[in-house]
């Protein structure tokens, strides 16, 4: 009878260990699923940031071109003013 009780306890222990093992596997799967979802969210965020960065670079390049064009206009206007002043001095 003692061996039967001992065997039942052994079976219960084995079942408890199997149950705990399944619980740990389930928890690991849930954790991996969560990490995978976070990874996907980071990838999406990274893509959005890259797109935003590209748009900002385009705006910056456009702004630089505008500044260069304005600088050229100012230089031309300065030269024209200088030329007109010299003509006025001759008159």
Whole-number Cα distances in Å, 51 to 2, 11, 68: 73, 60, 26
pLDDT in tens, 39-84: 999 999 999 999 999 999 999 999 999 999 999 999 999 999 999 9
Element (H or E) spanning 12, and its range? helix 2-90
Q: Is the pTM of this model over 0.85?
A: no
First CA to last CA across the chain, in angstroms?
Answer: 133
């Amino acid at each position: 009878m003692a061996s039967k009780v001992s065997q039942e306890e052994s079976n219960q222990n084995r079942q408890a260990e199997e149950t705990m093992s399944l619980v740990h596997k389930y928890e690991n799967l849930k954790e991996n699923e969560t990490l995978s979802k976070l990874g996907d969210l980071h990838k999406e965020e990274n893509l959005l940031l890259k797109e935003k960065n590209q748009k900002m670079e385009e705006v910056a390049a456009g702004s630089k071109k505008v500044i260069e064009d304005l600088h050229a206009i100012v230089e031309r206007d300065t030269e024209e003013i200088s030329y007109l002043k010299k003509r006025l001095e001759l008159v």
